[in-house]
Amino acid sequence: MKRIVYYVATTIDGYIAGNHDSIDGFVSEGAAVDKYLNDLKEFDTVIMGRRTYEFGYAYGLEPGQPPYPHMQHYIFSNSLTLENIHPKVHIRPPDLDFIKNLKKEKGTDIYLCGGGLFAGWLLDQELIDILKIKLNPLIMGEGIRLFGDSKKKYKTKLLHQKTYDHQLSILEYKLLYH
């Protein structure tokens, strides 16, 4: 079965973005960022919420286009409407059965891209298998939390960790739900 891998940049205090979606202070270059970009080539499917998809607009993403051209994109939203949608972009209402079926399909693991609220919802449903954190040497104090409003408590198992230049570390955890 395919795993859902939440591969995300976060601050030491657990924020994936600051107020107004700010990512000021996040490391944006160097060996760890290169590793992340190279790792993304290993996925054929990405899932995300509406806010994460729309976040890309500020960085040149055209509405309806795929941010990762080699992947199938599933954007989960009850309100997003787009014209001129690329064949690799699919908008769906949040649907646990659909996500569970995605995990059963042939292919690579599934990349969960950003989105604290969406990630928190998936965590609450025990659907995230791997958490890969790009841990930035930064305390933000407020913003978008790694798992949104989720209050669930789970143990994890550290699978791998490495610190790169700019003091950016990549930590990989398996989530232990039971």
Specify the pLDDT at position 40.
98
Which residues have a Cβ under 8 Å from the Cβ of 160 and sit 6 or more positions away?
170, 171, 172
**Average pLDDT of the segment spanning 51-68:** 96
Per-residue pLDDT tens over the stretch 22-46 = 999 999 999 999 999 999 999 999 9
pLDDT class of 92 with cuts at 50, 70, 90: very high
Res. 114: pLDDT tops 90: no
Report the C-alpha gap between 162 and 142 in whole angstroms: 26
Look-up of token digits 């051209």: 69
Per-residue pLDDT tens over the stretch 125-153 = 999 999 999 999 999 999 999 999 999 99
Report the C-alpha gap between 146 and 43 in whole angstroms: 21
What rounded mean pLDDT belongs to the chain? 96
CB < 8 Å & 24+ apart, contacts of 82-90: 89/64, 89/65
Specify the pLDDT at position 54.
96
**Average pLDDT of the segment spanning 50-57:** 96
Closest to 32 (Cα-Cα) out of 176, 153, 167, 177? 167
E strand intervals along the chain: 4-11, 15-17, 45-49, 72-76, 89-92, 110-112, 130-136, 144-145, 155-163, 169-176
Asked whether the beta carbons of 9 and 25 are under 8 A apart, the reply is: no
Q: Which residues pair with 47 in a beta bridge?
A: 74, 112
Per-residue pLDDT tens over the stretch 76-85 = 999 999 999 9
Specify the pLDDT at position 11.
98
Per-residue pLDDT tens over the stretch 12-21 = 999 999 999 9
Other residues' Cβ atoms within 10 Å of the Cβ of residue 171 = 17
pLDDT class of 178 with cuts at 50, 70, 90: confident
Specify the pLDDT at position 165.
95
Specify the pLDDT at position 51.
95
Token reading at 167: 């003091």
**Average pLDDT of the segment spanning 2-19:** 97
Rounded to 5 degrees, what are φ and ψ at 57?
-60, -35
Token reading at 118: 């969406």
